[in-house]
Amino acid sequence: GENVEQHPSTLSVQEGDSAVIKCTYSDSASNYFPWYKQELGKGPQLIIDIRSNVGEKKDQRIAVTLNKTAKHFSLHITETQPEDSAVYFCAASRGRDDKIIFGKGTRLHILP
């Protein structure tokens, strides 16, 4: 089955700097890669996703990149703000009603 590895497990960046979280996946048939953000005491919430026919996608300060050959994808957050502090999860799925498998998460701390 699919296995998703996520690094780092913890990341601290100065407010205003950029943060990058990286994930790898094992199943070459996976074609849908969402990212979720989990705030304290809440359930995860989708923030951006990318499909295998796209190499990069941006939404304001957030961008995701996908390298299907290497089977890795990344989340980039620019101009970080205090409200970006949270746990971020990457995930992978083969789509077509297949289950979504999550990485173990990255706890992001934005330092003042």
Partner 1 sequence: DAGVIQSPRHEVTEMGQEVTLRCKPISGHDYLFWYRQTMMRGLELLIYFNNNVPIDDSGMPEDRFSAKMPNASFSTLKIQPSEPRDSAVYFCASARSLAATNTGELFFGEGSRLTVL
Positions that interact with partner 1 (CB under 8 A): 1, 6, 31-32, 34, 36, 41-46, 49, 51, 89, 93, 95-105
CB contact at 8 A, 58 and 50: no
Q: In angstroms, give the least distance from the CB of 55 to partner 1.
A: 17
- In the numeric block, the tokens 């919430």 are attached to 45
Least distance (Å) between residue 95 CB and partner 1: 3
Cβ nearer to partner 1, comparing 29 with 79: 29
Q: How far is the CB of 108 from partner 1 (least distance, A)?
A: 15
Q: Which is nearer to partner 1, 8 or 16 (CB)?
A: 8
For residue 49, give every residue at least 6 positions away whose Cβ sits within 8 Å of its Cβ, in sequence order, or none. 32, 33, 34, 35, 57, 64
**Gap between the Cα atoms of 12 and 63, Å rounded:** 19
